[in-house]
Structure 1
Amino acid sequence: MSSASLSGRTVLITGATSGIGYEAARFLAERGATVLVHGRTPGEARAATGRLAATAGIGAGQLCPFSADFARLDEVEHLAHRVVTEHPHLDVLVNNAGMAAPERHTITSDGNEIAFQVNFLAHYLLTGLLETALTAGPGGRVVNVSSSLHRTASIQWNDPNRSRRYSRLAAYAQSQLALTVFASDPRVTAVSVHPGVCDTALLSLYGDEGASAAQGAAHVVRLCDPATEIVNGAYYDCDERVEPAAAATEDRTVKRLSKLADLLVGNTLAT
């Protein structure tokens, strides 16, 4: 991973209070970037920025706590509005926040299956609301932290909540396929990356052993670096660009997912 300075660049990382998101925030801040550290609650975000500021070489002024519970789309809207107000020019958005689908079928107050909302719909909404900030200058980009499990998935177009036939693994995989498809949306330049199997809260979905969160974060940070040239819709397995699942780049699927997501987030992006 390069050690070149990223001073002057502003990066928002969702789910940055632990795991890959936290380590990515640390790497970026150590290289001089201003990092907007998102957590589920204000307390979690402040605690994470405090830990990061205590790390040698990271100035407190480089770290800005932000919060939103992605199980509530109104909080995602408030997060986006605050970011645009305080940081009208955003260089990178890292859509990293994620959760394993629960054992029991769970619907949010917004009416969506919780893993589909937290892992995909909230990021879809956030990215759309931050489009002006991401395109305020040249080179703005989005990095979606996806999963190799997207290859096992299908999107249940007529039942995205999987109300009729629920499986926690299938629900999680569907959310990751949707996030990977979303990288091909033409509105912003975006890529998706599987950071490898890492020892984080999601490890149980993959196996018993994994690389460190810092090792996974290094693959994410590389794609945040303007020195790394990217192509919209590209998919990376760690540092290697590979073809995603066939559905992920199909123009018809990209358009269909956008229509579905607009419906499920309540047409917020059109208001």
Structure 2
Amino acid sequence: MPTTLSGRTVLVTGATSGIGYETARQLAERGAAVLLHGRTPEEARAATDRLIATVGTDGGLVRPLAADFARLEEVENLAHAVVREHPRLDVLVNNAATAAPERHTLTADGNEIAFQVNFLAHYLLTDLLAAALTTDRGGRVVNVSSSLHRTAAIQWNDPHRVRRYARLAAYAQSQLALTVFASDSRVTAVSVNPGVCETGLLPLYGNEGAPAAEGAHHVVALCDPATEIVNGAYYDGSERVAPAAAATDDRTIKRLNKLADLLVGPTA
């Protein structure tokens, strides 16, 4: 029987569909207060209403929040709203992701869109939520990564891939960066590959995938304080395995932090 998560507050990014929504649903079923993030207020509210109707949970335990991760200013506003309204946050699930488009695309902030939405936005959000993230036992960040991080290389001199762009390479780079970020000593974090699931990202992997609820199960297990974790650990489903060598390389971690700080700019 799963342990109750009553009394714990969890922010799940990209929670309006796929693994993010199923993660929010399973957390709510186990009694957690869920901050459900969506790209727009309308999407976040619709997902929240659907979750409440499905789970039958107290509406006060599920709170919709909105921010377009392709705009870093909105990420900052989201973080400030969370800190203001929820001064204690037990878990942050960095799940929001976009498939890199076929054509090279930059955000209004000047960053390649997959690198920003999948990594930089979460880097910024995590940093700004540091004051709220509890340091108590069980407090943690869960980065929803991908097995494709193993195929990636971070293009340090051209992270936005202006000179040479390939959709799959751009997506994989963003997932490697997110996995490296889990080893940052400033936060207690893990990464998890939830497996190939039936989500909007499925075309990057193949034609068939497991139900999103199955992938979410692995994410939720890592949100449970009963699950002991080591900072920087990487899980393939429920099994802890070694990530790509770069993910735990001190020089890579420091170099990525320096690049991310440069790209997200000064924060308030």
What interval of TM-score do these two structures reach, taking the shorter chain for normalisation? Answer: over 0.9
Stretches of structure 2 lacking an aligned partner (at least 5 in a row): none
Distance 1:267 1:248 in 2: 25
Residues 61-100 of structure 1: matches in 2 within 5 Å?
61-100=60-99
Distance 2:240 2:116 in 1: 27
RMSD, aligned CA: 0.9
Distance 1:178 1:267 in 2: 20
Distance 2:80 2:137 in 1: 21
Residues 1-271 of structure 1: matches in 2 within 5 Å?
3-135=2-134, 137-268=136-267, 271=268
Secondary structure at the residue paired with 1:93? strand
> May I ask how many residue pairs the two structures share in their alignment?
268
Secondary structure at the residue paired with 1:254? helix
What per-residue deviation string (whole Å, max 9, x for no partner) do you get for residues 99-143 of structure 1?
100001000010100000000000000000001111354431000
Shift of 1:157: 0.3
Distance 1:84 1:146 in 2: 25
Runs of 4+ deviating beyond 2 Å: 135-139
Q: Which amino acid aligns with 2:42?
A: G
> Is the Cα–Cα contact under 8 Å of residues 143 and 220 in structure 1 kept in the other structure?
yes
Secondary structure at the residue paired with 1:131? coil
Residues 98 and 28 of structure 1: CA distance in aligned 2, closer, same or farther (over 3 Å)? same
Residues 239 and 161 of structure 1: CA distance in aligned 2, closer, same or farther (over 3 Å)? same
Secondary structure at the residue paired with 2:5? coil
Q: Which amino acid aligns with 1:13?
A: V
Shift of 1:175: 0.1
> Is the Cα–Cα contact under 8 Å of residues 37 and 49 in structure 1 kept in the other structure?
yes
Distance 2:205 2:55 in 1: 33
Distance 2:225 2:134 in 1: 14
Q: Which amino acid aligns with 1:263?
A: L
Distance 1:207 1:186 in 2: 35
> Is the Cα–Cα contact under 8 Å of residues 90 and 136 in structure 1 kept in the other structure?
no
